[in-house]
Structure 1
Amino acid sequence: MTTATEAPRGFSPRVALQKVGTSLSNMVMPNIPALIAWGIFTAFFIEKGFTPVPALGGFADSAGTPHTGIVGPMIHYLLPLLIANTGGRMVYEARGAVVGVVATMGVIAGSDELIAQLNLTQPANEQIGQVHMFIGAMIMAPLAAWLMKKLDRLWQDHIPAGFEMLVNMFSAGIFAFLMAVVGFFGLAPVVNGFMSLLSAGVEGLIGLGLLPLVSILIEPAKVFFLNNAINHGVLTPLGLAQASQDGKSILFLLEANPGPGLGILLAYSIFGRGAARASAPGAALIQFVGGIHEIYFPYVLMKPILILAAIGGGMTGVFLNVLFHTGLRSPAAPGSIIAILGAATPDSYLGIIIAVLGATAVSFVLAMLLLKVGKQDDGDIVSATAKMEQMKGKKSSVAGALTGAGGAGAGAASAADDSGHTGPIQRIVFACDAGMGSSAMGATVLRKKVRGAGFDDVEVTNKAISSLNDEWDVVVTQKELTDRARQRTGSAIHVSVDQFMNSPRYDEVVDLVRRRNNGEDASDDADAADTAATADGGNASGTAAAGAGAGAAASGADATATGTAPSPRGRHAAEVPATGETAAADTDAAPQILSRDSIVLQGSATGADSAIDEAGSLLVAAGAVGEEYVSAMHDREASVSTFMGNGLAIPHGTNEAKSSIRRSAMTFTRYPGGIDWNGSPVTFVVGIAGQGNEHLELLQKVAMTFSDPAQVERLEKATSPDEILDIFGSDKE
């Protein structure tokens, strides 16, 4: 067993600020392409652009006719609303995105109203321009989505059957309206005042020639992963406002300049020792051309006094940029020299190159002198990388792969190399190929256990692997799919299971959540054995796979804890958020999904292939799918088994076969004598064809039924389709 990084205990201002910065970055970064598109419009079509076009650039033409253009509306409405959409979606998926966008529109309109009223009292030559609500979007959208999520939890267990859609739609609409009003009258004045204060502060620093002093804050913040709060929370909104008026902004260059890091890495390449010296040239290339600045952080942490070299280089770069009046049209992300020059205005190319070279030279000289002071330890780079990952809260695939941390030769590395996500567990996803069958059932069982342990705020949902991104804390998959999931969620903890109904791995996940979220000792979080769960009839046991070597550092390793959860307490099926893969279905559709005609109590199949044919023929007979869907069910089985455990299999088509589904339907076939399902005993086969979310509520009921031995016994003894429908809680046709 290895030792995992402990979850933070108590309140830490650094961790809190780091989390805020990460959230801001996660809202801005996916929308960087839109910012680049806006930058291209400004570069070509504004009055100072390469090819001024009044209709696009938004200025008066030669006849004096004013034009709105596209540049102004993009930065004032589109970009803040895109950020609001992303921020709301991060908190509460599609439902949060919609509420967040509407609420943010209230903030934008409120700001415009304040500016309009203020301009009525100002002379024509002192009119105030629009305030672009980037900060307003970053505050209002996540807040509105979070409140919507909390409100949904209050009444989701009390909605009468058949009224789910009505309640969900009207509750979101009414709440979005209220939050828009709050944004209009409440948040807009606060953000306007804050932006005015920040703008005045920046203009004052520039006017006094003191802007280089911001490097004293920015350069240490970068190393401790606090830069996102400064960069995306302050510099990007101010820079965009400045660029919308002047066509460029120096603020985009304060943090993005690769010179300070490059100088430090070049100094290590010449004057360093051991592993640090050997790896520094490769790190320099990644940092300067690739734009991944975090690659040099371990080199500073290895000898903290080098932060002075970074500050000196940063101040030099800012001074030269101010001297040459340089600026970028839009944020440069990542901070690559290629991205920086791509966003630079033509009159800034020379100054930016000189500023980068100057920052590199100063940081190189200072780092060279500081490296000669004191002792250099050859092995420090490994532990420094581990320390960096601990501060970051997740693995660094680039730094880990470059330095070899996490590999056999890096025995000094901390267990952060084996455990992926190292903080509290807030988001768990159960992933399968299609996202509609095994994952939905597994998520239902696991969700009940997590809720039963008292963690109501931990999200447990299901998705198709193809729709995953690296935002999940824990990813649960069938063992054959774990490698695919790792490719999309490299920083998560991965848990592999063989069956989905009563896997002991669920109790291990619950115990992991308990220890992480309660700040208990996490020393057993990571298991170094590179094995997966194995099944034995209806039960399974095993350990999570833990990666080794640089490859594991790049992809994330499996880790779980051992333990037993308290007895679960049930929750209503509609507890699953009504978004994406896991929305609870309108129960009015249940009779159409599982009908008497689709229930067979004496199946004729003798093995998995013939049972799939039997389930598929029932789906075809119900008019739910075409014949081609049956072939897709066999393809799905050939890639990953649909055996769930507890004598249940749920064959369904591949993700690509969803287009052949005409409507959602399920079938139920019982084999009293049991059949061989590729080595596992199966008594019940539930065929699935899911279109949208209509089938998920009934599928959740199936999952809860098969997790209860008494209910399974009732299924075995049932003598009519009506009894099966009663057990699953489905209405009869």
Structure 2
Amino acid sequence: MSTQTAPRAGARVHVQKFGTFLSNMVMPNIGAIIAWGLITAFFIPVGWTPNEKIATIVGPGIYYLIPLLIAYTGGYNIYKIRGGVVGATATMGIIMATSSPLFNEVYAETGGSPMFLGAMIMGPFGGWAIMRLDRLWDGKIKPGFEMLVNNFSAGISAAIMAIGAMFILGPILRAVMEGLSNVVEFLVDNSLLPFTAIVIEPAKVLFLNNALNHGVLTPLGLDQAKQAGQSALFLLEANPGPGAGMLLAFMFFGKGVSKATAPGALVIQFFGGIHEVYFPYVLAKPKLLLALIAGGATGTLMNVMFDSGLVAPAAPGSIFAVYSSVAKGSVLGVTLCWSSALIVSFVVAALLLKLDRSEDDGDLAAAAAQMEANKGKSSSVSGMFAGSAKPAGPINSIIFACDAGMGSSAMGASVLRKKIQAAGYGEVSVKNLAISNLTDDVDLVVTHQDLTARAKERTPSATHVSVDNFMGSPRYDEIVEMVKASNGEGGGTAAADVADDGVDTDVLRDDAIVLNGSATSRDAAISEAGRLLVASGAVEESYVDAMHEREQSVSTHMGNLLAIPHGTNEAKSAIRRTAISFVRYPDGIDWNGKPAEFVVGIAGAGNDHLALLQKLAGVFVDQEQVERLRRAETAADVRAVLSGVKV
């Protein structure tokens, strides 16, 4: 059984990451898509208020503006402005190949297909290609020729990629779009479109919807809306009815925490459009997927029967967003779509809850943690369920625990301590420890989400909070609220666990500060930071291997562009003295899907490195200080930033 589970989980994570990758290109441009949708809904010949002149925006908007914005965003995500410019330029080739009558006479009548898929491919590829080219001659250009080489390398590569995309990728995407369109047409013609809910509703709960929505449904929906004036595809995933119906059932027939939190969740989901707020309810009672599927299928059936839909995506999936994009002549069908989905979902969920003989509706706090694990990052709405895991008495001691207890936990404890003290609870102790040193006499334990299970084994009596962003996790604010609720109004004075006595020059030496790192990957960056520690005589060679081993167990990415690779607890014997290395990567490093521009290698023999870690935490929660590090030209500049921050 275990040999089969891991691959499935791995495949799911890869799909989630791919969906997030697509979402990161589309979501920043939703405003442009909404603008196009509003213009389309009102001013095309069959719109609410037809206007021939304003309607001229519709065609260029869907064929050029939106794909190029998506392509630019994709390239920018890879290689900032330079990557965005090259990615957008390269995308022009695929746009023309799928819309110009020179490639297909049919396009003279249909206009071809809006190239969202092409933009999602060529934008990031263009950014990646110019990034790799720049690195080939980095440091080899004679002074005075940098601008010439940079401009011509970008222009020539963009032109080549645009032409290549036109003749190589163009035929492939034309076939793909035609095939997908045929599939949708087959589903519609055979009244099978409602059955897509069997796939879409479970996918939403598992956070696989981004890949399906942004990779398939949005491009096809826009293509369909361009030709027919509306598309039902936009409501396959964004329909607020199924989730609202299920939450309504919890309001009337739920128990305990689920019944108490359902009204607030309903408002967030239905009016705010944040559907993930209802995912913990489903994860706590998976059989409720039947209610969501039944509701989703019913809603889609209404759109099929009334030939109704939206002119653009409803993002987020709020009832307001739905009606802002509704097509003329589709108001009745769309209204029946979400309302019938709500009613059917409510009836099925109510029946399932009434038949449930359990005394409660499951552990929503645990389900919310599972939701964050599925999502791969913390959720801004899961905090509403934190109350179900509040400690019984006052919180006097908080431990931030990690594998070694010297890097990640020290940084996280520093940020959390500052928040706790700022709230007036200086009497609450906030310390960091290795998980192996935990004892079951602490009130609250904070760990990375991958380490929570281990921490619970050693401290079963404590309240546990999981995070994945050590520098800026929203869970820290939830912990502060938890302390307020448990301890009453704060009025104590701030207390420092570690003295702040400046940067020790023996801990962070000038020769261990590199302002232009040569690594281009996470593992290479770990090795580069580790080699600096070895070269300074602080650690043995084996410590670098332990740094890689530590990274395999749980990520050392702290958030806010910072990673602090360090060895495992077992590798402390390889540390000769406490030391820290500092490497800056101006172009950034992909660290498990998150950007890292600053990599700090840590070898902590005792507690004498904690003062600098506190300073680092203070720096990386302050955007102004991060910018100073970006502009630093010497090791002394770096040290000035670190020694100038008060924690």
Normalising by structure 2, report the TM-score: 0.65
Q: Give the aligned partner of residue 35 of structure 1.
A: 33
Match of 1:420 among 450, 464, 468: 468
Is the partner of 2:263 in helix, strand or coil?
Answer: helix
- Larger RCO: Structure 1 or Structure 2 (Cα < 8 Å, ≥ 6 residues apart)? 1
Residue in 2 that maps onto 1:51: 49
Q: What residue is the counterpart of 2:501 in the other structure?
A: none
Work out the CA distance in 2 between the residues paired with 1:277 and 1:72: 48
| Equivalences for residues 367-516 of structure 1 within 5 A | 367-371=349-353, 372-373=355-356, 375=358, 377=360, 380-404=363-387, 408=391, 415-416=448-449, 417-421=465-469, 445=513, 451=519, 455-456=523-524, 514=548
Structure 2 residue aligned with 1:226: 208
* TM-superposed deviation, 1:91: 1.1
What is aligned with 1:538?
A: none
1:173 counterpart SS class: helix
For 2:552, give the aligned amino acid. G
Residue 705 of structure 1: how far off its partner (Å) = 9.8
Of 576, 580, 583, 2:586 maps to 576
Q: Among the aligned pairs, what percent are the same residue?
A: 46
Structure 1 contact 445–703 (Cα < 8 Å) conserved: no
**Pair 1:281-2:263 in alignment:** yes
SS in 1 for 2:88: helix
How far apart, CA to CA, are the structure 1 residues paired with 2:389 and 2:343? 33
* 2:97 corresponds to 1:110: yes
Is 2:353 aligned against 1:356? Answer: no
C-alpha distance in structure 1 between counterparts of 2:623 and 2:366, whole Å: 43
Within the candidate set 55, 60, 71, 1:84 is matched to: 71
For residue 577 of structure 1, give the secondary structure of its aligned residue in structure 2: strand
Instruction: Quote the Cα distance in structure 1 between the aligned partners of 2:523 and 2:146.
Output: 24
Structure 1 29/511 Cα, relative in aligned 2: closer, same or farther at 3 Å? farther
Equivalent position SS for 1:159? coil
Is 1:129 matched up with 2:111?
yes
Offset from partner CA, 1:451-496 (integer Å, 9 cap, x none): 59973479x9xxxxxxxxxxxxxxxxxxxxxxxxxxxxxxxxxxxx
Q: How far apart, CA to CA, are the structure 2 residues paired with 1:90 and 1:268?
A: 41
Give me the CA root mean square deviation: 4.5
Q: Which runs of 5+ in 2 are unaligned?
A: 1-5, 393-442, 450-464, 471-508, 529-535, 539-543, 590-595, 598-610, 614-621, 642-647
Cα deviation, residue 247, structure 1: 1.9
Alignment of 1:663-682 (within 5 A): none
Aligned partner of 1:699 in structure 2 is 633
**Contact (CA 8 Å) 2:238, 2:314: kept in 1 or not?**
yes
Give me the whole-angstrom Cα distance separating, in 2, the residues matched to 1:236 and 1:48.
Answer: 22
Q: CA deviation at 1:519?
A: 2.2
Write the distance in 2 (CA, Å) between the matches of 1:11 and 1:450: 33
Distance verdict in 2 for CA 1:351–1:414, change over 3 Å: farther
Alpha-carbon deviations, 1:609-649, whole Å to 9, x = none? xxxxxxxxxxxxxxxxxxxxxxxxxxxxxxxxxx999xxxx
CA positional deviation for 1:245: 2.0
Tell me, which stretches of 5 or more residues in structure 1 are unaligned?
A: 1-7, 58-68, 423-440, 461-501, 505-509, 527-543, 545-554, 584-642, 646-653, 657-688, 708-733
2:313 and 2:587 mapped to 1: Cα distance? Answer: 35
1:181 corresponding residue in structure 2 = 163
CA distance in 2, matches of 1:374, 1:420: 36
Q: CA deviation at 1:394?
A: 0.8
Q: Deviations over 1:391-428 (max 9, x none)?
A: 11111111223443776579799853442349xxxxxx
Measured after TM superposition, the shift of residue 356 of structure 1 is 1.4
Which residues of 2 match residues 260-339 of structure 1 at below 5 A? 260-339=242-321
Q: Distance in 1 between matches of 2:93 and 2:337?
A: 41
SS in 1 for 2:329: helix
Aligned to 1:138: 120
The separation in 2 between residues aligned to 1:137 and 1:449, in whole angstroms, is 31
Contact 1:261 1:360 survives alignment (8 Å): yes
The answer to whether the Cα contact below 8 Å between 1:302 and 1:380 also exists between their aligned partners in 2 is yes
Does the CA-based 8 Å contact 2:201-2:289 persist in structure 1? yes
Quote the Cα distance in structure 1 between the aligned partners of 2:520 and 2:279: 42
C-alpha contact 2:253 2:350 (8 A) present in aligned 1: yes
**Worse overlay, 354-363 or 155-164:** 155-164
Give the distance between the partners of 2:274 and 2:156, measured in 1 at CA. Answer: 43
Q: CA deviation at 1:560?
A: 6.8
Change (3 A) 1:270 1:395: same
Q: Distance in 1 between matches of 2:282 and 2:304?
A: 27
**Shift in CA distance, 214/706, structure 1 to aligned 2, threshold 3 Å:** same
2:33 is aligned with what amino acid? L
What does residue range 167-178 of structure 1 map to in structure 2 within 5 Å? Answer: 167-178=149-160
- The one-letter code sitting in structure 1 at the alignment partner of 2:372 is E
| Aligned partner of 1:257 among 232, 239, 264 | 239
Give 3-state SS (helix, strand or coil) of 1:290's partner: coil
Shift of 1:164: 3.4
**In 1, Cα distance between the equivalents of 2:373 and 2:582?**
36
Q: Where in structure 2 are the equivalents of 1:171-250 lying within 5 Å? A: 171-250=153-232
In the superposition, the TM-score normalised over structure 1's length comes to 0.58
Shift in alpha-carbon separation, 1:241–1:403, aligned structure 2, 3 A: same
1:346 Cα deviation from its structure 2 partner:
3.6
Q: Is the 8 A contact 1:80 1:134 kept in 2?
A: yes
Q: CA deviation at 1:379?
A: 5.3
Code of the residue aligned with 2:365 in structure 1: it is V
Question: How many pairs does the alignment contain?
Answer: 484
User: Structure 1 residue 354: deviation in Å?
Assistant: 1.9
TM-aligned CA deviation for residue 205 of structure 1: 0.8
Match of residue 519, structure 1, among 546, 549, 552: 552
The answer (yes or no) to whether the contact 1:279–1:403 under 8 Å persists in 2 is: no
What amino acid is aligned across from residue 309 of structure 1 in structure 2?
A: A
Q: Return the offset for 1:158.
A: 3.3
Q: Which SS does the other structure have where 1:347 is aligned?
A: coil
